[in-house]
């Protein structure tokens, strides 16, 4: 017997709407700050940051798409623009001709290092400065609880290294 949808309670609806508003407004604030101060959108900053966090500063394009929750075509377009900036370079995988790596260049690491202070300042001003230490702990616990069902499907799971404390990705041998 189908009982139909399990609708949100009034409290759940209020929490949902507040969460959506906060995340949407925060993403907008971060994007505007990065565009203004570093000349790059938030999506490009995230690509550079993800590459900076993995061994060899290199990921398969498909892994990078997974981490950033982007389509293959969107990540390919973004990496092409980052290549034109000299911040990322693509190179073929020696063991799998169907795969291509995206590698953070020294210039890309410099651009990321220059953008990071303003980005962190904006995160702090728009998120952490408004929270007590107890609320930060609660937020972390809530987000980790939410990640459980969101990453249960292997196809939806970010590659290792995309989340703090996780080991880096395996794959082709890196030069």
> pLDDT tens digit string along 1-26?
678 899 999 999 999 999 999 999 99
Show Cβ contacts of residue 118 under 8 Å, excluding neighbours closer than 6 positions.
33, 34, 37, 38
Whole-model pTM: value is 0.81
Residue 121 pLDDT more than 80? yes
Q: Where are the domains of the chain?
A: 27-150
Instruction: Just give the CATH number of 27-150.
Output: 1.10.10.10
What does pLDDT average to over the chain? Answer: 87
Whole-angstrom CA distances from 41 to 32, 52, 117, 123 are: 8, 17, 15, 15
């Amino acid at each position: 017997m189908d009982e139909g949808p399990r609708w949100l309670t009034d409290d759940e609806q209020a929490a949902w709407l507040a969460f959506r508003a906060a995340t949407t407004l925060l993403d907008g604030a971060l994007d505007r700050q990065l565009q203004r101060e570093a000349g790059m959108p938030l999506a490009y900053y995230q690509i550079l940051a993800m590459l900076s966090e993995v061994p060899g500063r290199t990921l398969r394009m498909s892994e990078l798409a997974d981490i950033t929750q982007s389509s293959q075509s969107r990540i390919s377009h973004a990496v092409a623009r980052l290549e034109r900036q000299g911040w990322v370079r693509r190179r073929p995988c020696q063991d799998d001709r169907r795969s291509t790596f995206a590698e953070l260049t020294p210039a890309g690491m410099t651009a990321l290092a220059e953008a990071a202070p303003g980005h962190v300042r904006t995160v702090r001003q728009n998120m952490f400065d408004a929270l007590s230490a107890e609320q930060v702990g609660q937020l972390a616990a809530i987000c980790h609880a939410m990640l459980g069902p969101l990453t249960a499907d292997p196809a939806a799971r970010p590659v290792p290294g995309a989340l703090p404390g996780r080991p880096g990705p395996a794959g082709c041998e890196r030069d």
